[in-house]
């Protein structure tokens, strides 16, 4: 007997859309109807709502998470000749933002348990040119901000958080985004809070940084055709802001669902060959991605694919070994933890709308095949 297995996608954006279809379409329609499509009421309201959500003084809507990183670093006066300490085990945008400002990324290895910047390895990477630390809250788990902030305070460094995967995550009870001088969020569609196009935000408790970013994102202009600094076009658009306002009201409930799915996965993988992610005591992880490690990752992915279960690798090649970034790193062997985990990690399906039946199927196939 053969049973035709139903396929399980890696993320299911359609399921989320169906659950909010009426509200979303109304928001989009009324935004267009109003024809206030340039830094208008939805962007302003979303900025207030997102700042409140992140427990920060301010939020500035921008064009993408990458824009948010670039503008946050620029507002912290990072520029040519400066060094920024960051990780190689991340999406390339973290490094791109540093490089595009003329600064130099200095890669530090990650902690093998949390997959985040290892605070014990920061000191050795500091030089007289070091200006900032850029930790990433990877997969939705906050970086260990306590020791990072302490080093930054002692050494007079800026801290910018890459929170593009960690909307709503908490470190010691406090939301990510409010720890450093500024933090960057992405609203790329697959993120825990995703637009239907591009979008991002910088959150900050500094009025000075907020003011600079409001200028930079809009051609350095406060008054039409009057430009006080050289900026860019990195505005969040009204339609995306309207969508994000609807979705923000559901973010905590979606994150709770992700955490519950992660707990089911973790319990089911206990005692198997699958190394499930570990949530640090101080973390409230929001599981943007559910990443496990296995011995033979490529074979597992292939066989899961044949069984109709989609998976991903985040990320298959560390940034310091990418052709685009090799010149900034110290090559193969320089970041042993980063390089080792890149060979074993695999991301399993994770989204709020996953059902118990789907999770059960992923678990039984992974346990059987790993
Ligand atoms: C998604 C992401 C970014 C970039 O965000 P975009 O909105 O795609 O520009 C940056 N850093 C990390 C860690 C990300 O996951």
What is the tens place of the pLDDT at every residue in 173-187? 999 999 999 999 999
Q: What is the pLDDT of residue 309?
A: 98
Give this prediction's pTM: 0.98
Q: Kindly report whether the peptide bond that precedes residue 87 is cis, defined as omega within 30 degrees of 0.
A: no
Whether pLDDT at 362 is above 80:
yes
Place 5 in a pLDDT band, splitting at 50, 70 and 90: low
Ligand 1 in reach of 66 Cβ (< 6 A): yes
Measured CA to CA, the distance from residue 295 to residue 215 in angstroms comes to: 49
Closest C-alpha among 204, 205, 175 to residue 192? 175
Residue 269: its H or E element: helix 251-269
Whether pLDDT at 63 is above 50:
yes
Ligand 1 in reach of 64 Cβ (< 6 A): yes
Whether pLDDT at 157 is above 80:
yes
Task: Compute, in angstroms, the gap from residue 242 CA to the centroid of ligand 1.
Answer: 21
Q: What is the mean pLDDT of the chain?
A: 97
Q: What is the pLDDT of residue 306?
A: 96
Burial 335-370 (b: 16+ CB within 10 A, else e): bebbbebbebbbbbbbbbbbeeebbebbbebbeebb
For a pocket test of ligand 1, which of 165, 199, 234 has the largest count of ligand atoms closer than 8 A to its C-beta?
165
Place 253 in a pLDDT band, splitting at 50, 70 and 90: very high
Q: What is the CA radius of gyration of the chain?
A: 21
Closest C-alpha among 303, 337, 355 to residue 19? 355
Give the rounded distance of the alpha carbon of 210 from its chain centre.
Answer: 20
Q: What is the pLDDT of residue 64?
A: 98
Measured CA to CA, the distance from residue 288 to residue 164 in angstroms comes to: 10
Ligand 1 in reach of 91 Cβ (< 6 A): yes
Mean pLDDT of 33-41: 97
Q: Using an 8 Å Cβ cutoff, are 182 and 206 in contact?
A: yes
Task: Compute, in angstroms, the gap from residue 203 CA to the centroid of ligand 1.
Answer: 15
């Amino acid at each position: 007997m053969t049973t035709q297995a139903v396929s399980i996608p890696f993320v299911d954006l359609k399921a989320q859309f169906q659950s909010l279809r009426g509200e979303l379409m109304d928001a989009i329609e009324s935004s267009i109807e109003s024809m206030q499509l340039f830094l208008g009421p939805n962007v302003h309201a979303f900025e207030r709502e997102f700042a409140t959500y992140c427990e920060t003084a301010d939020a500035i809507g921008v064009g993408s998470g990458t824009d948010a990183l670039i503008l946050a670093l620029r507002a912290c006066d990072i520029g040519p000749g400066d060094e920024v300490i960051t990780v190689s085990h991340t999406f390339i945008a973290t490094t791109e933002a540093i490089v595009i400002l003329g600064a130099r990324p200095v890669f530090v290895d990650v902690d093998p348990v949390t997959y985040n910047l290892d605070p014990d390895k920061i000191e050795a990477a500091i030089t007289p040119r070091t200006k900032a630390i850029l930790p990433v809250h990877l997969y939705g788990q906050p970086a260990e901000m306590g020791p990072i902030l302490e080093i930054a305070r002692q050494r007079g460094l800026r801290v910018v958080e890459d929170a593009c995967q960690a909307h709503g995550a908490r470190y010691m009870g406090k939301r990510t985004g409010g720890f450093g001088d500024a933090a960057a969020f992405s609203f790329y569609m697959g993120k825990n809070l995703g637009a239907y196009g591009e979008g991002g935000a910088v959150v900050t408790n500094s009025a000075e940084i907020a003011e600079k970013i409001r200028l930079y994102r809009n051609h350095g202009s406060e008054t039409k055709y009057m430009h006080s600094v050289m900026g860019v076009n990195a505005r969040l658009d009204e339609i995306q802001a309207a969508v994000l306002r609807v979705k923000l009201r559901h973010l905590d409930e979606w994150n709770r669902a992700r955490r519950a799915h992660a707990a089911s996965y973790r319990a089911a993988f206990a005692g198997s060959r699958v190394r499930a992610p570990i949530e640090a005591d101080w973390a409230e992880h929001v599981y943007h991605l559910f990443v496990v490690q296995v011995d033979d990752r490529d074979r597992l992915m292939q066989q899961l694919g044949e069984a109709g279960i989609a998976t991903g690798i985040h990320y298959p090649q560390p940034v310091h070994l990418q052709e685009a970034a090799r010149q900034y790193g110290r090559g193969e062997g320089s970041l042993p933890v980063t390089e080792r985990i890149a060979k074993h990690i695999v991301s399993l399906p994770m989204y709020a709308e996953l059902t118990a039946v789907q999770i059960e199927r992923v678990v039984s196939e992974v346990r059987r095949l790993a």
